[in-house]
Structure 1
C-alpha cells in the first residue's frame, strides 16, 4: 500500500472518530448538542436521536474502505462522494437555500473538509497503485 493509501485510511478513521463527537451527543444528549450549536430543540426529540443512529450506521460503512481501499474500491470512493459529498451538499443547501439554522453548517463543513482531503488522497493512491502480480508470476 503506498503512502497516499495509508494516509487515506488514517483520514477515514479520523473522520469516523470525528463523527463520534456528533453521534454520542445526538443519541444520548441531543439537547446539549443542539444548545451548543444554537439550534432549536425539536419535539419529539426522537428524530435527533434517529439522525445520530443513522450517522453511526453510515460511519460503520466507511470501515471496509478504511481497512483496504484497493480491495474495497467502491466503498472507498462512496465514502468520499456518496456520503461526505452528499452530506455536505445537503446541509449547505439546507442552510443557504431553505432557511435552516446556521448550526447545520458545522455538519456541512466537517463533510466538506473530509470529502476534499479523502478525495485527493484516494485519487493519488489509486493513480500510484502498483499493479498486482498474478499468482503464477510470483
Structure 2
C-alpha cells in the first residue's frame, strides 16, 4: 500500500467520524439542540426531517469507507465520496449565495468543498501511483 492510500484512508475515516459524530448522531438524537446551537432555522416538522437526514448521512458516510481503504478495488466508491462531498458543499453555498439563506450554512459549505478538494487530490495521487489490478 502506498503512502497516498494510507493518507487517503486516514482522511476518509476522519471525515466519516466527523459526519457521524458531528452531524448524523446529533441530527437523530438532538435535532432541535443542533438547530439552536448553529443558529439555524427550523423546528416543528423540521425536526422529523433532520432525524431522517441524520440516518441518511450515517449510512452514506459508511459507504465512503471501502473507497478510502482500497481506492483501487473500490474506485467508484472513492470517486463517489469526493463528488458527493463536493456536491453537498456546493449545495450549502448555493443556499447562502443564491437563495439568500442564513450565513450559518457557509461554514458547512466551505468545510465540505475544502475537504472534497483535499480528498480528490489524495485520491488522484493514490490512483496514479498504483498499477491497475486485474479482475479476478
Superposition TM-score, scaled by structure 1 size: 0.89
Q: Is the 8 A contact 1:80 1:119 kept in 2?
A: yes
Aligned positions of 1:76-115 closer than 5 A: 76-81=78-83, 83-115=84-116
RMSD between aligned residues: 1.8
> How far apart in 1 are the matches of 2:43 and 2:135?
57
Query: CA distance change for structure 1 residues 77 and 105 in 2, over 3 Å: closer, same or farther?
Result: same
- Distance in 1 (CA, whole Å) between partners of 2:104 and 2:60 is 21
Measured in 1, the distance between the counterparts of 2:109 and 2:2 equals 30
Shift in Å, 1:112:
1.2
Give the C-alpha shift of residue 132 in structure 1: 4.8
The DSSP-based 3-state class of the residue aligned with 2:98 is helix
Partner of 2:17: 17
Partner of 2:125: 124
Partner residue, 1:46: 48
Per the alignment, residue 67 of structure 2 pairs with 65
Aligned pair in 2 of structure 1 residues 29, 70: CA closer, same or farther (>3 Å)?
same
Unaligned runs of 5+ in 1: none
- Alpha carbons 1:11, 1:114 under 8 Å: kept: no
Partner of 1:7: 7
Give the TM-score of the pair, scaled to structure 2. 0.90
Q: CA deviation at 1:134?
A: 9.7
Give aligned pairs, total. 134
Change (3 A) 1:132 1:58: closer
Unaligned runs of 5+ in 2: none
| Alignment correspondent of 2:38 | 37
Runs of 4+ in 1 over 4 A off after TM superposition: 131-135
